[in-house]
A = this chain, B = another copy of it.
Amino acid sequence: MLGLMQEWPLLCHKLIDNAARQHGEREIVSRSIEGPIVRTTYAEIHRRALQVAERLDRDGFGLGDRIATLAWNTARHIEAWYGIMGVGAIYHTLNPRLFREQIVWIMNNAEDKAIFVDLTFMPLLEKIAGAVKSLRKVIVLTDKAHMPQTTLQNVVAYEQWLDEGTGAFAWKTFDENTAAGMCYTSGTTGDPKGVLYSHRSNVLHAMIAAMPDAMGLSSRDTILPVVPMFHANAWGLGQSGPMIGAKLVMPGSKMDGASIYELLDAEKVTFSAAVPTVWMMLLQHLEETGKKLPYLKKVVIGGSSCPRALTTKFQDNYDVEVIHAWGMTEMSPLGTLCTLKPDCAGLEGDARLDIQSKQGYPPFGVEMKVTDDDNKEQPWDGKTFGRLKVRGPAVARAYYGGVGSEQFDQEGWFDTGDVAHIDPGGYMQITDRAKDVIKSGGEWISTIELENLAVGHPDVAEAAAIGIQHSKWGERPLLVVVRKPGREPTKTDILAFMNGKVAKWWMPDDVAFVGEIPHTATGKIQKTTLRQQFRGYRLPTD
């Protein structure tokens, strides 16, 4: 027997409908690509998103078409998202920080038919557009006055194109499992893989993200999504924000400390989210200028492990609550958030930081487990680590084009490729990537732990641990170190510093000093390249 409740499909345009209806006058403030700070409202964004949908429809784009965006976080980018989804097409956020060939490969893989592009990326697009066979239209996110000379074909200024709309258009409707958005992974461990979000998964993810024990977002918040919309949906903020009607502050192309501080202060931002490096730049700016953060209440930090020092500074010096979070493109992206359960809400000092340095626990809607290589579930003892697997309505069940199918099992579990342990309180901690973990005599050594330890040395700027082939143990750790400018720590200094802070057999067999460690386009350490560089390296212990 079925229930007798309404069929009300979870469609993304209902989020912006709700924003316009209940929070129509609430502001969305953007640092525009043209320069000035511009202000609009949800009512206005809603009206213009409908116009985007109308124009796309008239230009022949619709259900299932992939429409790329190569753009910073601005109100126009939000309008484009909802307009694309509202006509049944699929927004495909491109990460401009990827290498040019990767972008071409991704666009061809996705068969993008049109693209919304910021002025910033015109030179880039001019170089690659010819290589993307499917591309039929380029919409430049600016007005006629700011349109540059261009070699691009079928190109139009967004505002001019919008103005051709009549304003009489209604959202298309379709099944809630219809594809709504697309995003490729960052390509840290291999080729980027496409993830295809549905309207349902986006809406559920928006709800999950806003919950009090997740990000805890209210209409009274002012949200600054520093994390780009092209980086895993801006962690859901482009959907959660309209859903609850919060004021949004969109940083455009400027993510340096001074620019972010300026917005935080002028717009009285209460909530923000970004990767650790952005926050380090902000804190450095604050320290240099002596500025404070009187309005900011809470920041979410994720994308890579949040250094303890960052949490301490935010909380102790600026009275800003830090929520460490873990997620991935394949999870829309939220996986776990480190909010405090009642049992640990009263902790202080180091005991509190010990919890907060973990990646947290999953909200309702995300299931997780840790298994060994034989898929046997591991105990929640806070030390036994293994493969982290997840399930949920906003988790991928496959990659676009069917690649990576070995990561998905029959029972619906997705192997994240991360290695983690879970403590008795349910808090998960990432210790490694499965591809990076060092296997010594059959046992696993966590590279993240070695690196976190090494960068605690005052003369170390950056460190990466990789496994080097060893005739007796299979693999043994090599620590690759970049020294701080003007400092000359030796191998002995560094090993002495680490000694006793980690199990004896985890200690690196050697330390190699380099001028630079290779990074991916999104700023993560590129261990594949690093391992290539050290192929054939001979350890002194071998």
Contact = CB atoms under 8 A, between A and B. Distances in A.
Contacts of A398: 4
A8 B220 contact: no
A78 interface: no
A434 B392 CA distance: 43
Contacts of A180: 3
Contact of A64 (B1, B200, B341): B1
Interface stretch (A33-41, A52-60, A144-152, A208-216): A208-216
Contact of A201 (B5, B195, B207): B5
A244 B393 contact: no
Contact of A412 (B6, B21, B64, B177): B6
A247 B212 CA distance: 15
B3 A200 contact: yes
B207 A217 contact: no
Contacts of A343: 25
A320 interface: no
Given A245-B341, A362-B22, A5 B426 contact: no
Interface string A1-32: 11111111010001100100111011000000
A76 interface: no
Interface string A167-194: 0000000010111100000000000000
A18 B340 contact: no
B175 A2 contact: yes
Nearest to A210: B211
Contact of A391 (B4, B8, B21, B178): B8
B213 A219 contact: yes
B217 A212 contact: yes
A20 to B, nearest CB: 11
A393 B15 CA distance: 14
Contacts of A426: 21-23
Contacts of A63: 1
B178 A1 contact: yes
A503 interface: no
Given A213-B219, A364-B18, A397 B341 contact: no
Given A2-B198, A196-B3, A198-B3, A26 B342 contact: yes
Contact of A393 (B6, B23, B195, B341): B6
Contacts of A247: 342
A281 B212 CA distance: 31
Contacts of A208: 207
A395 interface: yes
Contact of A8 (B178, B340, B362, B412): B412
Interface string A396-437: 111110000000000010100000000000100000000000
A391 B3 contact: no
Contact of A5 (B2, B364, B393): B393
A261 interface: no
Contacts of A332: 5
A450 interface: no
Contacts of A393: 5-6, 8, 10
Given A25-B343, A207-B364, A211-B244, 15 more contacts: A1-B64, A2-B177, A3-B200, A4-B196, A4-B396, A5-B197, A5-B393, A6-B391, A6-B395, A6-B396, A23-B426, A210-B212, A213-B218, A219-B339, A220-B340
28 contacts: A1-B64, A1-B178, A2-B177, A2-B178, A2-B198, A3-B180, A3-B201, A4-B398, A4-B399, A5-B198, A5-B332, A5-B394, A6-B391, A6-B393, A7-B412, A8-B391, A8-B392, A8-B395, A21-B367, A22-B341, A22-B362, A26-B342, A211-B211, A211-B244, A212-B216, A213-B219, A219-B341, A220-B340
